[in-house]
Amino acid sequence: MAARTAFWIKRFFGIEYSLTVHANDIFVPNKFEIGLPQIFSTASAILAVSDFAANQLRDRFPDTASRVHRVYNGIDCDSFQPAEPSPPPLILSIGRLISKKGFDVLIDACALLQNSGHGFRCEIIGEGPLLMELQARIDRQDLGRQVLLTGPKPQAEIIARLSRATLLALPCRVDVDGAMDNLPTVIMEAMASALPVISTEVGGIAEMVRNGETGLLVAQNDP
């Protein structure tokens, strides 16, 4: 919406503007009267938060490729402290409860851990339309004591939970509508807390999570 406002401001007043393009803008764009082609044609700079996204935009809009730049999101590293986990291990996952986040896959992975005799806790922080479906999945697999859907938390509490976690798990995937994550900021927040990250190669995640070095990358939809 802000970019569309800037589009009209430039048209009427000649004021230059730039914009940052996020995951849904690229992978499942809404149909607006003023869409990305019109906005890109007049923007001075087009920012993407990963190389993956930047390359997607250059391929789709070759006439504006020279104005597409990758600028990673930033975080305030001073707000985070190295994690000090205590047993049992805490698996943390954070995000909106929607299909592309893959939380159902994480719950199934927790069932495998439980069946193999491993002690652990898993907290999924967030809210969304799949809350009841995910809770039913937890209940069916008798994971109520291990897996907790905490609901949304303010940023200060998320930082506190990161400081007590053992790892961050983000089983991101491409959903049936083509929606996917680009490069979730929570990955950088976990790394600022010295946490390993387990995720997938969806979007630009592999630019931040180096397999076997800063975390593990696994196949999407595979617990």
Question: The domain that contains 187 carries what CATH number?
Answer: 3.40.50.2000
Total tally of structural domains belonging to the chain: 2
> Within this chain, do residues 54 and 81 fall inside the same structural domain, yes or no?
no
Strand order in 68-70's β-sheet? 18-21, 45-48, 68-70
Bridge partners (DSSP) of residue 122 are 91, 147
pLDDT-derived band at 154, boundaries 50, 70, 90: very high
Alpha helices, DSSP H, located in 14-102: 23-27, 36-42, 51-60
Query: Counting beta carbons within 10 angstroms of the beta carbon of residue 52, is it exposed (0 to 12), middle (13 to 18) or buried (19 or more)?
Result: buried
How many C-beta neighbours within 10 Å does residue 190 have? 28
> Within this chain, do residues 211 and 110 fall inside the same structural domain, yes or no?
yes
Report the chain's mean pLDDT, rounded to a whole number: 93
42 belongs to a structural domain: yes
> Within this chain, do residues 110 and 15 fall inside the same structural domain, yes or no?
no
130 belongs to a structural domain: yes
223 belongs to a structural domain: no
> Within this chain, do residues 42 and 82 fall inside the same structural domain, yes or no?
no
Domain edge (last residue) among 50, 70, 90 = 70
| CA proximity to 138, closest of 84, 177, 93 | 93
> Within this chain, do residues 83 and 192 fall inside the same structural domain, yes or no?
yes
> Within this chain, do residues 64 and 146 fall inside the same structural domain, yes or no?
no
Distance of CA 80 to the CA centre of its chain: 18
The model's pLDDT over 156-171, given as tens digits with 9 standing for 90+, comes to 999 999 999 999 999 9
Average pLDDT over residues 177-203: 95
Q: Which residue segment(s) compose the domain that 89 sits in?
A: 77-218
Domain edge (last residue) among 43, 70, 97 = 70
Domain edge (last residue) among 70, 90, 122 = 70
The predicted structure's pLDDT at residue 54: 96
DSSP 38-63: HHHHH-SEEEESSHHHHHHHHHH-GG
172 belongs to a structural domain: yes
Q: What are 133's two structure tokens?
A: 């479906």
CA angle 30, 36, 38 (to 5 degrees): 130
Whether this prediction's pTM lies above 0.85 is answered by yes
Residue 29 has pLDDT above 90, yes or no: no
> Within this chain, do residues 119 and 187 fall inside the same structural domain, yes or no?
yes
The predicted structure's pLDDT at residue 150: 98
Residue 189 has pLDDT above 70, yes or no: yes
> Within this chain, do residues 22 and 112 fall inside the same structural domain, yes or no?
no
47 belongs to a structural domain: yes
pLDDT-derived band at 200, boundaries 50, 70, 90: very high
The dihedral through the CA atoms of 170, 171, 176, 181 has a sign that is positive
In this structure, are residues 80 and 56 in contact, taking their beta carbons and an 8 Å threshold? no
* Strand residue runs (E) in 120-202: 121-125, 147-151, 167-170, 197-200
The predicted structure's pLDDT at residue 1: 62
> Within this chain, do residues 109 and 32 fall inside the same structural domain, yes or no?
no
The model's pLDDT over 112-146, given as tens digits with 9 standing for 90+, comes to 999 999 999 999 999 999 999 999 999 999 999 99
Q: What are 56's two structure tokens?
A: 């997607």
